[in-house]
A and B are shown apart, each in its own frame.
Chain A
Amino acid sequence: MLYANETLQLELGATVAIETQTDTLYVQRQSQQWRLYKQARPHAQCNLDQALVVSQRIPLPDNLEMVKSWMSGEQESTLRIVPCMADRNLVLNLDKPIVVPAGRRPKFYLALPLMYQLYIGNSKQPFYEFLVERLPFSWFGSNTRRGELCYQFEAEVLQDYEQAAPIPHRAMLELRLCNRDTDHLSIDKINLPAQFLPVYKVDGSRYWTTALTITNEKLTDELSLHYAKSVPCRYDSLQLVSESRLRSEARTILRALEAIIG
């Protein structure tokens, strides 16, 4: 299922510019085709102030690098810009370790970086997808042999989600850590399975994803991950913007301790 978030109608020859932290993307409609150009900004000018600002009816600058073109053989005038979760897991390195005492289950909130997808016409497959923020790659695993390549991101660990201002390129996650072991659980980095999370738009202003519970089972090296069915916050209107990239066969899955918490 696909739910359009931002839908734009472009005339022939019209161009739309979308700002990210590091680049400006130009999408131009031509006769029976669309073209995507990218212009990188110097490091000094890279910031998130203008992130996701969409400018319409602008002239296409000269000397742009064309990334790809879309040729369908039809006159398609619709461009949809849809947020979704990242295509890899997200790793959060905590400045200071969090210690969860034995038998406790604290919850906190994190803002997860989103990817955006561009769809042309009624296509169910995106033409292009991009990260708004520059997320470096990071290896998450017990050694360089076992582990996975993830995006590393920075976020504040919040006790109350109302402390956080809505950010268009982040989705809020409620994370509950349940320590059933008899020892304290110390966490210095955490691997969040972004590909299993959907994106919802709450009250037309803020993105949320479903709550995630990580349980440290008693006397074992295994963690169970439980995905909730809906968002944990209060809302008047809720819209599913994009479904999770991958589906877990059960809402609760088991993974080794070191695969989630470094």
Chain B
Amino acid sequence: MELFQQIMQPLQGADGGAWLRALGYLVLGLVLRNIIVSGMRKYVDNHTSPHKAILFRRAISYLVLFVFVLIALSELGFHSGVLLAVAGVLSVAIGFASQASTSNFISGLFLLGEKSFKVGDIVAVQGTRGEVISIDWLAIKIRTFDNLYVRVPNDDLIKGHVTNFSKFSIRRLDVQMWLALETDCAALEKLLNQTIVHEQAFLHQPAPELFRLHVGVLGIQVQYSVWAQQEGFFTSRSKLIDLIVPAMQNAGVVITQTPSVVQGQDNSFRMPYP
């Protein structure tokens, strides 16, 4: 209580002129902040990634405001030494009370250095998949494909797995199928390659490949892998299925029924047969 009274004492001695000057400094601070932020926007936007630009703009903005608030308080008779001492005490108290925020803040600094993703990337974090719309000091914000707004604390990103689907410009499309044992895989590979060769969505290099994965009770398990641009990936995948399934049916290739088994955590299969 005494500390509070000690802090508030200068306010009682401040006259109208001091209040006006303090207000003037605050307005000046706001104007200066806007000028500096808009001035640096052109440079920062062109020279750094979008999320760094956002963070730099916020940091500069808060710094300028903090300095002008300090000047305004000095005009009202506050001594900066007392203010800093109070700030020190408060920061320790706030630090204890907000360990999670501190942890998130420090995790945010690590994330910034890692450059694992940027604003606009498509990521998957702890079962949430969507577009990164903001990277802040404490958390990132994700817009999911069904248009939900998800806030993920930076700490979770550091501790957990993050999959970035936009890091590289190309991506592999995999279609897995079980085929009858009589299938001539070499001929099938040729057929599939001829089917997609005219489609601009699929890359010629790396070349498409038909992997022979397993021979089992259901026949031969194969995986047809085709490379496509990251942009338009889902459209390309639909197009690939639309093209290859009718082509295989026309050529008399028998796609055996998909196994009705559940994949376990340990990647093993509970087979429906002994």
Interface string of B158-202 (1 = CB under 8 A from A): 000000000011101000000000000000000000000110101
Contacts of B169 in A (CB 8 A): 148-149
| B157 interfacial by beta-carbon distance below 8 Å | no
Given known pairs A43-B198, A134-B198, A137-B229, the reply for A145 and B204 (CB within 8 Å) is no
Asked whether A139 lies within 8 Å of B170 as measured between CB atoms, the reply is yes
Question: Which residues of the other chain, A, contact B203 by a CB distance below 8 angstroms?
Answer: 136-139, 149
Chosen A-B contacts, 18 in total, with CB atoms closer than 8 Å, are: A91-B205, A136-B203, A136-B204, A137-B200, A137-B202, A137-B203, A137-B204, A138-B204, A139-B170, A139-B227, A144-B168, A144-B170, A144-B172, A144-B206, A149-B170, A149-B229, A152-B204, A152-B205
Residues in B with CB closer than 8 Å to A152 are 204-205
Q: Which residues of B contact A207 (CB under 8 A)?
A: none
Tell me if A208 is interfacial: C-beta within 8 Å of chain B: no
Q: Which residue of B lies closest to A131 (CB)?
A: B200
A43–B247 CA distance with the chains assembled, in angstroms: 15
- Complex: how many Å from CA A136 to CA B206? 12
Q: Are A136 and B200 in contact (CB under 8 A)?
A: yes
Of the candidates A137, A138, A145, the one having the most CB atoms from chain B within 10 angstroms of its own CB is A137
B193 CB to nearest A CB, Å: 12
> What's the Cα separation between A152 and B198 when bound, in Å?
13
State the CA gap A136–B203 with chains docked (Å): 7
Per the bound structure, the CA–CA distance linking A138 and B207 in Å amounts to 9
**In the assembled complex, which residues on chain B have CB atoms less than 8 Å from the CB atom of A140?**
205
Q: Is the CB of B205 within 8 A of A138?
A: yes
Closest to B169 in A: A149
Contacts of B206 in A (CB 8 A): 139, 144
In the complex, chain A residues whose CB is within 8 Å of the CB of B205 = 91, 93, 138-140, 152
B103 to chain A, nearest CB (A): 32
Give the residue name and chain of the B residue nearest to A140 (CB). B205
Which residues on B sit within 8 Å (CB–CB) of A137?
Answer: 200, 202-204, 229
A65 to B206, CA, bound (A): 32
Q: Can you add 5 more A-B contacts, CB < 8 Å, to A134-B198, A137-B204, A149-B203? A: A43-B198, A93-B205, A136-B200, A144-B170, A149-B169
Say yes or no: B200 contacts A134, CB within 8 Å: yes
Contact with B along A164-186 (1 / 0, CB 8 A): 00000000000000000000000
Task: List chain B residues, Cβ under 8 A from A144.
Answer: 168, 170, 172, 206, 227
Cα A148 to Cα B170 in complex, Å, equals 9
Residue of B nearest to A145 (CB): B168
Residues of A within 8 A of B170 (CB): 139, 144, 149
A74-105 with Cβ < 8 A to chain B: 91, 93
The answer for the CA separation of A136 and B197 in the assembled complex, in Å, is 8
- Interchain nearest-CB distance for B172 vs A (Å): 8
Report the nearest B residue to A138, measured CB to CB: B205
CB distance from B257 to the nearest CB of A (A): 32
Chain B residues near A145: list those with CB within 8 A: 168
A91 / chain B contacts, CB cutoff of 8 Å: 205
Give the CA-CA distance A99 to B204 in the complex, in Å. 24
CA distance A43 to B169 in the complex (A): 28
CA gap between A149 and B206 in the complex, in Å? 11
| Interface 0/1 of A23-51, CB less than 8 Å to B | 00000000000000000000100100000
- A136: chain B residues within 8 A (beta carbon): 197, 200, 202-204
Contact with B along A123-165 (1 / 0, CB 8 A): 0000000000010111110001100110010000000000000
User: Measured between alpha carbons, how far is A144 from B200 in the docked complex, in Å?
Assistant: 18
**Smallest CB separation, A68 vs chain B (Å):** 18
Chain A residues lying within 8 Å of B202, measured Cβ to Cβ, are 136-137
CA distance A43 to B194 in the complex (A): 12
Rounded to whole Å, the gap between the CB of A249 and the closest CB of chain B is 17
Residue of B nearest to A146 (CB): B168
Which of B198, B204, B205, B229: most chain A Cβ within 10 A? B205
In the complex, chain B residues whose CB is within 8 Å of the CB of A43: 198
CA distance A46 to B197 in the complex (A): 13
Residues 56-115 (chain B) with a chain A CB within 8 angstroms: none
Nearest B residue to A43, CB-CB: B198
Interface flags for B212-247 (1: CB within 8 Å of A; 0: not) read 000000000000000101000000000000000000
- Residues in B neighbouring A93, C-beta threshold 8 A: 205
Interface pairs A-B: 9 shortest CB-CB: A138-B205, A136-B204, A138-B204, A137-B203, A152-B204, A139-B205, A43-B198, A139-B170, A139-B203
A240 to nearest B CB, angstroms? 30
**A48 → B minimal CB distance (Å):** 14
Bound complex: CA A148 to CA B169 (Å):
8
Q: Report how far A91 CA is from B205 CA in the complex, Å.
A: 10
Contacts of B204 in A (CB 8 A): 136-138, 152
Q: Which of B169, B197, B202, B229 has the most CB of A within 10 A?
A: B169
**Which single residue of chain B is at the shortest CB-CB distance from A91?**
B205
